[in-house]
Amino acid sequence: MKEDKYEYNRIPEEFYYEFFSEGPKGKIKKLIRYKLISESPDHIFNLSFGDWNEKTFDADDSITTNNKDRQKVLATVADTVLDFTQLHPEAFIFAQGSTLSRTRLYQMGISAYWGEIGGLFRVIGYINGEWKPFRKGINYQAFLIKRK
């Protein structure tokens, strides 16, 4: 099977990952960061992901890049989850997009690799006022992921 993801750099001190999306819109730097937001009773890391803007020195996940590589980008983000949780197997990862459509992108990424993710991770999603075990085809508002 053809590999379909980007190589990425990891800044281990602060859990940043960066890679470049390449397509019709050019080369766009993508940045992922895992930040510890809760230590008790469990370590919960927030996953943030967006395009890096060298002019504003900020990231943004509201941009629709249209670089025709969405699947490859999602696969790369999923790969960083794998990498990060190999280094921090005790970590819970919280993921939520800045909008419902962005959160749905995370859901698509989880669903696309569910065959592999489901065996390696416990995934729960928040919907209608409740946290529930992840099921494909449901539009969750947020996710929590942990290695089994």
Partner 1 sequence: MKNKKGLEKRAVDDSNTEKLAKYAKAPYFTKKDKKAMEFLQKHPIPAKFLK
List of residues contacting partner 1 (CB under 8 A)? 1, 3-5, 7-14, 16-18, 31, 33, 35, 37-38, 41-42, 44, 46, 48, 50, 52, 57-61, 75, 78-80, 82-83, 86, 92, 94, 96, 98, 112-117, 122, 124, 126, 129, 131, 142, 144
Cα–Cα distance, 72 to 74 (Å, whole number): 5
Q: Which is nearer to partner 1, 49 or 67 (CB)?
A: 49
Q: Which is nearer to partner 1, 24 or 96 (CB)?
A: 96
Q: Which is nearer to partner 1, 105 or 124 (CB)?
A: 124
Least CB distance to partner 1 at residue 38 (A): 7
Burial state string for 24-52 with b = 16 or more CB within 10 A and e = fewer than 16: eeeebebbbbbeeeeeeeeebbebbbbbe
Q: Is 57 exposed, middle or buried (CB count within 10 Å of its CB: 0-12, 13-18, 19+)? A: exposed
